[in-house]
Chains A and B, each alone.
Chain A
């Protein structure tokens, strides 16, 4: 099959003429020309600071594919979309598109606040590339999708922001391009509407449209895309199935800190009731700098000062998986010595043992809650520890892909043969 998008060495250079911003008035330009009349505009421009927003991007997208694009802000994601949507021209390279492109670079493009909802549907629709007949045909559907029937003839400047966004998205969602560029529009509206939008995107994919999807929402990327491009500094770092790209991306972005110590009781995180002295994760019998794999039994240690005599202290630990989901929560109810007893003033250490064969691989984050009377949260530290759990070859067998799931428990399996005949009842 032939790709529907083919990009070859696509590059885009921007001038970030920080020093030249002032010259963007006619007076400066004229003055400059008078001062050095034989130096052409082009020559002077070369003195500017230039950055490559995109550099030699090569990729192909097959018809019907849903491809995610991830990367930090400024990585070049939006520039790539702007080039594909023909909003801006590449500085070099070439891209071939074998289908009609619509971009949802920003929903509501061309909405005019003075015009009514009805009028804006027509205006926005035609700006996004729909013909008049097409808009007429889909008009009722659009209005129903946006749930604004009653306000059709009200100027959109009187709409609530939710209604405004719903209408804007409704128009965009009814485009029928072969290639759809979607940039983070899922952040729009309430949860129910978001679900609707995701559904609409899913429909587009099922109908065989090719979708390029920029998002910072890794869950959405992983659930919708079959392939992910990771852009960094204008170049493609990795291109593969979402699981592996997303975890590499998250791993690269996370700062691992397996041990943190605060020696000054006055400035340590906490308040006048408790202060944290140390937080650490290490393999049982090892040190925080040792490698930790999915097989390694781990211990989380928290040292803290109790400053309030007689407080019934307790902890709660949230373990976040790589996708930013709470894998589980744990607290020391079965701790034998101090649980349920009043804590005198002093330094305490609580340790939590995580057995091997429970966590999935990837970067994990620990949020710590110091709790009084098992009810009142005294103090919260959201990123108490961050650590990387490595994959382990022993438990893979011949499977080399990414194992999905927030945890990867080592479970018992059994298989037995029940009968020696293949299908005795069929005859």
Chain B
């Protein structure tokens, strides 16, 4: 606020705030008991079908920031390598798959060096996996908050997903480095990258919110998630190209929303032709899942404190 000085509106604002703050400080003994005409909060049993209040989420953005910040701070505390793990994790996985699938099994990818291919798929996948596994446990892990303080509960899985974004950004820099090393063909395809990133975030959020809410009641979900994620990885074109999937199965295969997203991500950064149909299917399924997750989360959140 202070940096924009030419603007009259913004210069007015800080002084107004100061004035308000100083009057508040000057008369602490005589607070005005002028209550608002309308209650600030009405507490009553909620309607079954209510959507998110995005305005409320926005009001609590400060808390979201601190929740993300806490997750980041805590994740690598007391680790010797610290933030290096952000880079090492996808890199080592890439090395393993390159040695195993690339050399031993001999997976063939046209046009792209296999390590680059795997890393480009590993990037959105690592983000998705990390986001889903941490957000699915997030509500249970923050039970002490849920049972003590009010805030929009959705902040917790959202924060868990958002806390994976910095890792994603750092890995992306590695990808750019690898791209230069292997002389990848950068092009206008990159314009589709933000779309793919938003889609993978929404999908992770949808799955994360739904599973975190279920996990509050049925802890089985927390146990099942790592297993399902493992299966999901092999049902997605992370370490192999879509072209290896038999023609007859392609249609069913494309129902996995990650197929369009990961392929789209890879084409965005490594070049090639987009499979627009697959991308559209993925986007539709992702949006549908997100809307469903938002509604069901809203319906379940009123009971979290009672059953967690």
A87 close to B305 (CB less than 8 A): yes
A225 to chain B, nearest CB (A): 19
B35 close to A98 (CB less than 8 A): yes
Q: Which residues of B contact A105 (CB under 8 A)?
A: 148-149
Known contacts being A24-B218, A87-B149, A115-B74, is A98 close to B302, with CB within 8 Å? no
Q: Could you say which of B30, B33, B151 contacts A127, with CB atoms under 8 Å apart?
A: B151
B40 close to A (CB within 8 Å)? yes
Per-position binary interface string of chain B over residues 234-274, scored 1 when its CB falls under 8 Å from any chain A CB and 0 otherwise: 00000000000000000000000000000000000000000
Residue of A nearest to B302 (CB): A89
B42 close to A88 (CB less than 8 A): no
A residues with CB within 8 A of B: 1-2, 4, 10, 14, 24-27, 29, 63-64, 82-101, 103, 105-106, 109-110, 112, 114-115, 119, 122-123, 126-129, 131-132, 155, 206-209
- The docked-state distance in angstroms from the alpha carbon of A382 to that of B160 is 55
Residue of A nearest to B21 (CB): A137
Q: Which residues of A contact B302 (CB under 8 A)?
A: 88-89
Q: Which secondary structure dominates where chain A touches chain B?
A: loop
B70 close to A89 (CB less than 8 A): no
- The docked-state distance in angstroms from the alpha carbon of A97 to that of B150 is 14
B306 close to A14 (CB less than 8 A): yes
Q: Which of B185-220 contact A (CB under 8 A)?
A: 217-220
A-B contact pairs, 20 of them (CB 8 A): A24-B217, A63-B33, A82-B305, A87-B146, A87-B147, A87-B148, A95-B42, A96-B41, A99-B35, A100-B40, A103-B148, A110-B144, A110-B149, A115-B70, A115-B77, A126-B63, A127-B63, A127-B145, A206-B29, A208-B33
- The docked-state distance in angstroms from the alpha carbon of A14 to that of B46 is 16
Which size class do B's interface residues fall under?
Answer: 35 or more
Known contacts being A127-B151, A131-B62, is A90 close to B220, with CB within 8 Å? no
B45 close to A90 (CB less than 8 A): yes
- The docked-state distance in angstroms from the alpha carbon of A132 to that of B66 is 9
Per-position binary interface string of chain B over residues 34-74, scored 1 when its CB falls under 8 Å from any chain A CB and 0 otherwise: 01100111111110000000000000001101100110011
Q: Could you say which of B44, B66, B73, B148 contacts A90, with CB atoms under 8 Å apart?
A: B44
B109 close to A (CB within 8 Å)? no
A101 close to B41 (CB less than 8 A): yes
B78 close to A (CB within 8 Å)? yes
B221 close to A (CB within 8 Å)? yes
Q: Which residues of A contact B144 (CB under 8 A)?
A: 109-110
In the A-B complex, list the 10 residue pairs whose CB atoms are closest, starting with the nearest: A208-B31, A86-B150, A96-B39, A95-B43, A98-B35, A26-B220, A63-B33, A126-B66, A26-B218, A97-B41
Known contacts being A90-B44, A95-B43, A208-B31, is A132 close to B305, with CB within 8 Å? no
B111 close to A (CB within 8 Å)? no
A132 close to B62 (CB less than 8 A): yes
B27 to chain A, nearest CB (A): 10
A305 to chain B, nearest CB (A): 55
- The docked-state distance in angstroms from the alpha carbon of A402 to that of B86 is 68
Q: Could you say which of B44, B62, B74 contacts A114, with CB atoms under 8 Å apart?
A: B74
Residue of A nearest to B70 (CB): A123
A207 close to B35 (CB less than 8 A): no
B33 close to A64 (CB less than 8 A): yes
B303 to chain A, nearest CB (A): 8
- The docked-state distance in angstroms from the alpha carbon of A391 to that of B220 is 61
Q: Which residues of B contact A89 (CB under 8 A)?
A: 43, 45-46, 302-303
B28 close to A (CB within 8 Å)? yes
- The docked-state distance in angstroms from the alpha carbon of A293 to that of B302 is 52
Q: Could you say which of B30, B62, B220 contacts A208, with CB atoms under 8 Å apart?
A: B30
Known: A2-B35, A132-B62. 15 other contacts (CB 8 A): A14-B306, A86-B43, A88-B306, A89-B303, A90-B45, A94-B44, A96-B39, A97-B42, A100-B40, A112-B74, A114-B73, A114-B78, A122-B66, A128-B149, A208-B31
Residue of B nearest to A116 (CB): B73
- The docked-state distance in angstroms from the alpha carbon of A1 to that of B35 is 9
- The docked-state distance in angstroms from the alpha carbon of A131 to that of B17 is 14
Q: Which residues of B contact A109 (CB under 8 A)?
A: 144-145, 148-149
Q: Which residues of B contact A93 (CB under 8 A)?
A: 44
B143 to chain A, nearest CB (A): 11
Residue of B nearest to A155 (CB): B77
Q: Which residues of A contact B70 (CB under 8 A)?
A: 112, 115, 119, 123
A98 close to B40 (CB less than 8 A): yes
A106 to chain B, nearest CB (A): 6
A115 close to B41 (CB less than 8 A): no
Known contacts being A114-B77, A127-B149, A207-B28, is A91 close to B45, with CB within 8 Å? yes
B296 to chain A, nearest CB (A): 13
Per-position binary interface string of chain B over residues 141-177, scored 1 when its CB falls under 8 Å from any chain A CB and 0 otherwise: 0001111111100000000000000000000000000
Q: Which residues of A contact B46 (CB under 8 A)?
A: 89
A262 to chain B, nearest CB (A): 47
Residue of B nearest to A122 (CB): B66
Q: Which residues of B contact A110 (CB under 8 A)?
A: 144-145, 148-149
- The docked-state distance in angstroms from the alpha carbon of A90 to that of B148 is 15
B35 close to A88 (CB less than 8 A): no
- The docked-state distance in angstroms from the alpha carbon of A353 to that of B147 is 54
A223 to chain B, nearest CB (A): 20
Most chain A C-beta atoms within 10 Å of own C-beta, residue among B30, B43, B69, B217: B43
Residue of B nearest to A92 (CB): B45
Q: Which residues of B contact A63 (CB under 8 A)?
A: 33, 35
Q: Which residues of B contact A99 (CB under 8 A)?
A: 35, 40
- The docked-state distance in angstroms from the alpha carbon of A122 to that of B65 is 11
- The docked-state distance in angstroms from the alpha carbon of A41 to that of B145 is 28
A97 close to B43 (CB less than 8 A): yes
Q: Which of B219-239 contact A (CB under 8 A)?
A: 219-221
Q: Which residues of A contact B220 (CB under 8 A)?
A: 25-27
